[in-house]
Amino acid sequence: MIETTITPALLAAVRNGERILCLSHVKPDGDAVGSLLGMGWLLRSLGKAPVLALQDTVPDEGRGLPGVEEILTDASPDFERIVRQQAFDLIVCLDASSPDRMGTVYHPPVHESATLVVIDHHVTNTGFGALNWVDPSSVSTTQMVARLADALEVPLTGPLAECLLTGLVTDTLCFSTSNVTPRTLELAMRLMEGGANLALITQRTVNRRPYRLIKLWSLILPTVNLADGVIWASATPEMLAQTGMPTSEVGLSSYLVTADEADMSAVFIEQVNGDGSTRVECSFRAKPGFNVAEVAFALGGGGHPAAAGCTVEGDLATIPPRVVAALQAARRRQLAARHGTA
């Protein structure tokens, strides 16, 4: 069952947890790292010693956050022993909308006996935990962790405040998305009063990128196309290899959707599977009033109305035309519904 508010059962699970594992999604973003670390600081305030884990390494925007060096990843020598072979009584999964998003951290043979608590804000969440707190009205999972801290009377100060403000800033592109409300800004104000430095966090996340990413964009942008209100571009494995950028940090879809003529954007990244076949990772964005989550969900992915994604088996010759057609059809439906002609 999915709950949209904090339940007594969830509070009890957190209060009673002794051996606790906290995790977030593969290819983590600022909200994944911020909510994971924030949950860690919250639990430490309650006198607990949680293990924090991610499948993939922390992205640049998460580096420098307090406690980040304690996160165990697939590449850590102790990952198998401390994360995958250890039994826990409570597992807290943050910012992940479906079980596959937990990647290699969640190891059912060993972890199945733990109470799995899901805390997430994706409208596409499948409710895969024993307890599921899913609030799509929250702009970030860190906003939900802040609410949990309030419920448990943990003050929003110091490292906790810094981690929580990071997720708020990254998932709202610095308070500029259409889901930002006065409540969001009120929380940001409290986190700043608690010591979090907004200018520093912004500079470490949304306002910076490595030069090699700009080089990669210069290779992808020649492929850009626009038709029927959808703008899209594609990246080959060679482009990624040439610039050494991980796929999780391509990030171009937010830029493409700024085109005046576009209501939706898509970036397609081809990746080679272990067996030599290929898959295409798709990243979607929508202007306010449009919804790309439904297309992502229909293709086996997930996300939010304004930012969503999926991974489809196939290559750049076949997948983009199919997916762009699906986005164009969704846009037409959404326009028709808006004008009452659906």
253 touches which of Mn ion, ligand AMP, none (CB within 5 to 8 A by kind)?
A: ligand AMP
302 touches which of Mn ion, ligand AMP, none (CB within 5 to 8 A by kind)?
A: ligand AMP
304 touches which of Mn ion, ligand AMP, none (CB within 5 to 8 A by kind)?
A: ligand AMP
Nearer of residues 176 and 341 to Mn ion, judged by Cβ:
176
132 Cβ contact partners less than 8 Å away, ≥ 6 residues apart? 1, 2, 3, 118, 120, 125
| CA–CA gap between residue 94 and residue 210 (Å, rounded) | 27
Is residue 32 within the footprint of Mn ion (CB under 5 A)?
yes
Is residue 135 within the footprint of Mn ion (CB under 5 A)?
no
How many residues belong to the chain?
Answer: 342
* Residues in a beta bridge with 311: 281
Shortest distance (Å) from residue 254 CB to ligand AMP:
8
SS3 141: helix
Is residue 56 within the footprint of Mn ion (CB under 5 A)?
no
Nearer of residues 306 and 324 to Mn ion, judged by Cβ:
306
Position among 10, 13, 27, 29 found at the interface with Mn ion (CB under 5 A): 29
Nearer of residues 105 and 154 to ligand AMP, judged by Cβ:
105
Nearer of residues 31 and 263 to Mn ion, judged by Cβ:
31
Nearer of residues 135 and 262 to Mn ion, judged by Cβ:
135
Position closest to Mn ion via CB: 31
Nearer of residues 162 and 171 to ligand AMP, judged by Cβ:
171
Nearer of residues 142 and 253 to ligand AMP, judged by Cβ:
253
Residues 64-80 as b/e (b if ≥16 CB within 10 A, e otherwise) read ebbbbeebbbbeeeebe
Is residue 270 within the footprint of Mn ion (CB under 5 A)?
no
Q: How many CB atoms lie within 10 A of CB 48?
A: 16
Q: Sketch the per residue contact string, 138 through 157, with Mn ion: x for CB under 5 A, - otherwise.
A: ---x----------------
Shortest distance (Å) from residue 252 CB to ligand AMP:
9
Residue type, 338: R
Extract the tokens encoding 56. Answer: 């993939």
17 touches which of Mn ion, ligand AMP, none (CB within 5 to 8 A by kind)?
A: none
Q: Compute CA distances 52 → 12, 18, 32, 49, whole Å.
A: 20, 14, 12, 10
32 touches which of ligand AMP, Mn ion, none (CB within 5 to 8 A by kind)?
A: Mn ion
Do 334 and 264 meet the contact criterion of CB atoms below 8 Å apart?
no
Shortest distance (Å) from residue 240 CB to ligand AMP:
14
DSSP letter assigned to residue 226? E
Is residue 61 within the footprint of Mn ion (CB under 5 A)?
no
Beta-strand runs (E) in the chain: 2-3, 20-24, 51-54, 72-73, 90-94, 115-120, 131-134, 225-227, 230-235, 264-272, 278-286, 302-303, 307-313
Q: Which of 56, 24, 45 is nearest to 121 (CA)?
A: 24
Shortest distance (Å) from residue 139 CB to ligand AMP:
11
Extract the tokens encoding 199. Answer: 């200018």
Question: What residue ranges bind ligand AMP (CB under 6 A)?
Answer: 97, 101, 253, 283, 301-304, 307-311
Shortest distance (Å) from residue 204 CB to ligand AMP:
17
According to CB under 5 A, which residues from 92 to 111 bind Mn ion? 95
| CA–CA gap between residue 43 and residue 2 (Å, rounded) | 23
Nearer of residues 167 and 302 to ligand AMP, judged by Cβ:
302
Q: What is the CA radius of gyration of the chain?
A: 20
Q: Which stretch binds Mn ion (CB under 5 A): 1-9, 164-172, 244-252, 331-339?
A: 164-172
Residues in contact with Mn ion by CB under 5 A are 29, 31-32, 95, 141, 171
